[in-house]
């Protein structure tokens, strides 16, 4: 018997229906933090690392996985911005599910629940970086989680996503709101929980970025 397709299979909504508007705070940059950038071009699967004084909601000390980047714009998910919610609080009428944290993926589409994972066999999943997948068959994922709660370590649930219109992200990169680096592993992205991941990522980017680690979170405190 053919399995009925779930109405709760979450797919990334049509891209670019809304866009992230970031105030880069031009004069907030401190000259001593203008460092030589790594020559890494943004690409699908790359990480965007927020500069220390970017203080816009879930972008504060954020690390974003770029799920899409082209001349049409860009889409990504913040990996390390926790919310007050847990999965079992957001879903009703689906039976028992583990109580696991839900993160803020960005300010766009916050009425949608997304998930990143490393379960390559999940039907409908889209690979956004080597070994890292977005979305897929939600009911099947819940079945996996109910039968083996260790599966929860392989999934990150997010509310919303981050989006940029054509050329917008490139402009923010020129303004040095973000640095671009490569993803270390899918497991590290799924394990990210807070700004500790930002610090670990900055540290991995080389000595030129170590000043970021000692910068105050408020420029006025410098």
Average pLDDT over residues 25-37: 44
Query: Taking the domains of the chain in order of start, what are their residue ranges?
Result: 40-214
Q: Give pLDDT, residue 218.
A: 61
Three-state DSSP state, 188: helix
Convert 120-153 to b/e letters by CB count within 10 Å (16 or more is b): eebebbeebbebbbbbbbbebbbebbeeeeebbe
Phi/psi for 128 (5° steps) reads: -105, -15
Q: How confident is the model at residue 208 (pLDDT cuts 50, 70, 90)?
A: confident
Q: Is residue 1's pLDDT more than 60?
A: no
What integer best gives the mean pLDDT of the chain?
83
pTM score, whole prediction: 0.82
Q: Which fold has domain 40-214?
A: VC0467-like (3.40.1740)
Instruction: Give the mean model confidence (pLDDT) for residues 45-68.
Output: 95
């Amino acid at each position: 018997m053919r399995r009925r397709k779930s109405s709760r299979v979450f797919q990334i909504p049509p891209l670019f229906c809304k866009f992230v508007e970031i105030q880069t705070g031009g004069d907030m940059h401190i000259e001593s933090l203008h460092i030589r950038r790594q020559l890494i071009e943004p690409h699908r699967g790359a990480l965007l690392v927020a500069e220390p004084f970017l203080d816009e909601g879930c972008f504060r000390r954020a690390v974003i996985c770029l799920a899409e980047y082209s001349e049409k714009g860009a889409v990504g998910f913040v990996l390390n911005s926790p919310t007050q919610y847990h999965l079992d609080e957001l879903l009703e009428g689906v039976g028992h599910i583990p109580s696991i944290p839900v993160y803020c993926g960005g300010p766009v589409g916050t009425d949608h629940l997304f998930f990143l994972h490393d379960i390559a066999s999940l039907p409908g999943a889209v690979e956004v970086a080597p070994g890292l997948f977005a979305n897929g068959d939600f009911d099947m994922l819940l079945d996996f989680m109910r039968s083996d709660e260790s599966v929860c370590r392989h999934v990150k649930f997010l509310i919303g996503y981050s989006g940029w219109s054509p050329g917008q992200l490139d402009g923010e990169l020129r303004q040095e709101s973000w640095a671009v680096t490569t993803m270390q592993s899918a497991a590290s992205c799924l394990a990210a929980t807070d700004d500790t991941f930002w610090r670990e990522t900055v540290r991995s980017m080389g000595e030129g970025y170590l000043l970021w680690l000692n910068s105050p979170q408020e420029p006025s405190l410098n």
